[in-house]
Chain A
Amino acid sequence: MLNRKLIPLAVTCCLFFLLFGVGSIQFEGFGTPRVFFNLLSDNAFLIIAAVGMTFVILSGGIDLSVGAVIALTGVVCSVLISKYQWHPLLVFPVVLIGGTAFGAIMGAIIHYYKMQPFIVTLAGMFFARGLASVISEESIPIEHEFYNDVSAFGFEILGDAWIGSSTIICLMVLVVAIIAAHYTRFGGRVYAIGGDANSSALMGIPLAATTIHIYAISSFLATLAGIVYSFYTFSGYSLAAVGVELDAIAAVVIGGTLLTGGYGYMFGTLMGVLIMGVVQTYISFDGTLSSWWTKIVIGGLLFCFIALQQVLVRVKPR
């Protein structure tokens, strides 16, 4: 009998292969390594953001500022590179440090003033989008040799499948996150806080430091996602990436992480994003289905997985 902890993850994986299989049988050219690796490279920024969201949700919180941080990162990058002629390699550390500090401040407010993560990160979302639109309301193009080189960097595997720089970054993030979540002391603390914040405080887990770290990591990864996002768009726009936070939350839930925290796998989040990507690819291959079906299907999937979680939690033997 399968470990019951693994049931949601197993369902997610099966569903992914089922959707991919159905697509492959139905459409020519769907079941190729190329389409599969395109899923990764098209959704690399979402995977990176969703990994950060997984840490937050594992700890029982939520981060609504992710999409806004992605947009702010793009705007700051493009202004520094195009207007002030900074080198991207100098810009990246600056925005990453700024993003991390932003998350740390949100984490500190959540912990010290005992506010709900939901409302604090909502204010953070307003703040980041507001700051982005104050910096520039227009879309600013990024023109730099380095950007073109990074974006074009990559190699072919398995015939015609393409692994680009964004895919490499996202896989690296994923590996580090899996190690951090499952094999380090910090990861253990995140799960413990998500399981029961009071008990873990009594156990001697430093709640303040861990909470601040979690939100700092989430914003750091959102900033990284913003950098990767600017590799696709070559521009910074204050209204970019609207709603990415919801996609990230949906991916985490579909990936089998329990929304009350303390329960879930990093790998599941990857599968969650891939399922959403496969639904989108399926709809674009089909051609007759309209784009709004993506939203409805993702809503339906969300419902099914949340219902599944509820059933698993309730049937749990005591």
Chain B
Amino acid sequence: MNTFKNQNLRRYLWPCIGLLALLVINAIIAPEFFQIEFKDGRFYGSLIDVLNRAAPVALLAIGMSLVIATAGVDLSVGSIMAIAGAVSAYYITKGVDNLALIIGAGLIAGLIAGIANGFLVGYMSIQPIVATLILMVAGRGIAQLINEGQIVTFDHPGFAFLGTGSFLGLPFPVVLVIITFAIVQLLTRRTALGLYIEAVGANPSASHYMGLNAKAIKMSVYCVAALCAALAGMIAAADIRGSDANNAGLWLELDAILAVVIGGASLMGGRFSIFLAIIGALIIQTLTVTIILSGIPPKFNLLIKASAIILVLLLQSPLFQKQLAQLKFRKSSPTNNTSVNGNNKETKNA
């Protein structure tokens, strides 16, 4: 029991330390980073900006962490964002004024996409990467079809509030992330659902013999992921007051997966922490800000991100941990070895 607790603590420790370290670096290179102003009923400052910009990826990461916990992956969330944005823009330009109707339409579009993904993965047992690849390819086409190939702009103050409004001083996207987090966390940790999801990911056949309906559970996680993506898509559309089928949510599926991985989840499934996935999303956004603040040209962004993924993955790999431990051991002992050392360098360069 004690070791279990220790493990759990370690799991939470590393991502949080990573985020703190980045924040400290930011504070050192730009002392104004932590300044927060209260103006016109809402907070302003770099920190709030990080939260606000991380919101879409954080929403995607909430859904993605559930999907990854079942040993799946959802590549279509970026396209679902585009579809949801396009659908809500379509209804606004058609003269629908009822905010609930507009948001509902976007969410239903997302739900349909999620059901399609869940059906392919759960009921047709197609590999998740491939099943969601279909919608990733076709989804942008569908969004363009709804937009008729244009960038549809709209003017609807109520809908724009989703992206640019504020509530209790916080930007509204951040509030939406908190609400979604609370709902999903309650659903998964205060009911047995979370345990079921982890069981399906950890050992599908064992959970089948236990009497779990793996198909329905997979269906439900893809639906949650798609709903989160639809919400993120509407935030993105509300933010720019327009729907751009080509660029809305482009590559965000990769950021979402990265956020979940940084949060310490294994891609083999079996465990998840929504909180850590959100921390992961914050780390990605803070890292972007750190790169800007430190004066490194933004073109290095991707290269640094790639190095970060490899580093996090290596740190998770048992073999690398062993090699690292060996390295420490050998360093303290007089016999020096170069082979392990060289090996490590090589993989880090990759």
Interface residues of A (CB under 8 A from B): 62, 105-106, 108-109, 112-116, 118-120, 122-124, 126-127, 129-131, 133-134, 137, 246, 249-250, 253, 259-260, 290-296, 298-300, 302-303, 306-307, 310
Pair A130/B141 contact, Cβ less than 8 Å: no
Pair B300/A303 contact, Cβ less than 8 Å: no
Pair B317/A118 contact, Cβ less than 8 Å: no
Known: A127-B306, A131-B303. A119 touches B313 (CB 8 A): yes
Pair A292/B144 contact, Cβ less than 8 Å: yes
| Residues on B with beta carbons closer than 8 Å to the beta carbon of A250 | 133, 137
The binding surface of chain B is classed by DSSP as helix
Pair A130/B305 contact, Cβ less than 8 Å: yes
| Residues on A with beta carbons closer than 8 Å to the beta carbon of B303 | 126-127, 130-131, 134
The 5 closest A-B pairs by CB, nearest first: A299-B138, A295-B141, A130-B302, A130-B303, A126-B306
Closest to B307 in A: A127
Bound form: Cα–Cα A105–B135 in Å? 31
| Residues on A with beta carbons closer than 8 Å to the beta carbon of B120 | 303, 306
Q: Of the listed stretches B8-16, B32-40, B121-129, B162-170, name the one at the interface; the rest are far from the partner chain.
A: B121-129
Interface residues of B (CB under 8 A from A): 73, 120, 124-127, 129-131, 133-142, 144-145, 148-149, 245, 254, 257, 261, 267-268, 299-307, 309-310, 313-314, 317-320, 346-347, 350
Pair B267/A294 contact, Cβ less than 8 Å: no
| Residues on B with beta carbons closer than 8 Å to the beta carbon of A123 | 306, 309-310, 313
Closest to A122 in B: B254
Closest to A313 in B: B125
| Residues on A with beta carbons closer than 8 Å to the beta carbon of B314 | 113
Per a CB cutoff under 8 Å, which of B124, B129, B299 touches A134? B299
Closest to A249 in B: B133
Pair B317/A292 contact, Cβ less than 8 Å: no
Could you list 18 examples of A-B contacts with CB < 8 Å? A108-B347, A113-B317, A113-B319, A116-B268, A119-B261, A119-B267, A123-B309, A126-B302, A126-B303, A126-B309, A130-B306, A250-B137, A292-B140, A294-B141, A295-B137, A299-B137, A302-B137, A310-B125
Q: With a 10 A CB-CB cut-off, give which of B73, B133, B245 has the most chain A CB atoms.
A: B133
Known: A115-B313, A133-B299, A290-B149. A310 touches B126 (CB 8 A): yes
| Residues on A with beta carbons closer than 8 Å to the beta carbon of B137 | 246, 250, 295, 298-299, 302
The binding surface of chain A is classed by DSSP as helix
| Residues on A with beta carbons closer than 8 Å to the beta carbon of B130 | 249, 253, 259, 306
Bound form: Cα–Cα A113–B301 in Å? 25
Closest to A243 in B: B137
User: Nearest Cβ in chain A — how far from B312, in angstroms?
Assistant: 10
Pair B127/A259 contact, Cβ less than 8 Å: yes
Bound form: Cα–Cα A204–B328 in Å? 34
| Residues on B with beta carbons closer than 8 Å to the beta carbon of A108 | 347, 350
| Residues on A with beta carbons closer than 8 Å to the beta carbon of B302 | 126-127, 129-130, 133
| Residues on B with beta carbons closer than 8 Å to the beta carbon of A246 | 133, 136-137
| Residues on B with beta carbons closer than 8 Å to the beta carbon of A106 | 350
Known: A105-B350, A302-B134, A307-B124. A120 touches B300 (CB 8 A): no
Bound form: Cα–Cα A299–B140 in Å? 10
Bound form: Cα–Cα A109–B346 in Å? 10
| Residues on A with beta carbons closer than 8 Å to the beta carbon of B300 | 130, 134
Pair B317/A115 contact, Cβ less than 8 Å: yes
Bound form: Cα–Cα A134–B134 in Å? 32
Bound form: Cα–Cα A303–B135 in Å? 9
| Residues on B with beta carbons closer than 8 Å to the beta carbon of A130 | 299-306
Closest to A105 in B: B350
| Residues on A with beta carbons closer than 8 Å to the beta carbon of B134 | 299, 302-303, 306
Per a CB cutoff under 8 Å, which of B127, B245, B305, B347 touches A109? B347
Pair B350/A118 contact, Cβ less than 8 Å: no
User: Nearest Cβ in chain B — how far from A240, in angstroms?
Assistant: 15
| Residues on B with beta carbons closer than 8 Å to the beta carbon of A295 | 137-138, 140-141, 144
Bound form: Cα–Cα A114–B321 in Å? 13
